[in-house]
Amino acid sequence: MHTDRKPPKPPRTRKGPREKLAAALCALASDHGTILSHSEKSWASITFAGARHRVEMEFVGEDAVDAGECFIAFLPEHEFAIPGQLVADAAITEVDHVLDPPRMAVTCEILLLEEG
């Protein structure tokens, strides 16, 4: 028996702020960085709500380390475009640099606030 039915499509996964932030960080690193860990902790004040993200990235190889150095320089002033979110703070909190073989580990913290 032959039918013209198409196999069901896998369910779409909706990207939230966490996934969009991770993608933006990788793009800022010119896709030379690998996210080793990404944690988030809810944050709120009387007027704002959001989450503080802690991201550890690794850059392996000369080109990747060069991209990582640019990442460190540009992150604090980078204009993120994450719908529904404002980046209130973005800072590099730790850097571990090895020369041979070239490798750099970078930890950053980003505070995302919900718009509206």
Q: 17-114: which CATH architecture? A: 2-Layer Sandwich (3.30)
Instruction: Indicate the pTM of the whole model.
Output: 0.84
Average pLDDT in the 70-76 region?
97
Q: What is the pLDDT of residues 8-58, one digit of tens each?
A: 665 556 788 999 999 999 999 999 999 999 999 998 889 989 999 999 999
- Answer left, alpha or beta for residue 84, where phi above 0 means left and psi between -120 and 50 means alpha: left
pLDDT band at 2; cut points 50, 70, 90: low
Domain boundaries, the chain: 17-114
pLDDT at residue 116 greater than cutoff 90: no
Q: Which of 23, 18, 58, 24 is nearest to 38 (CA)?
A: 18
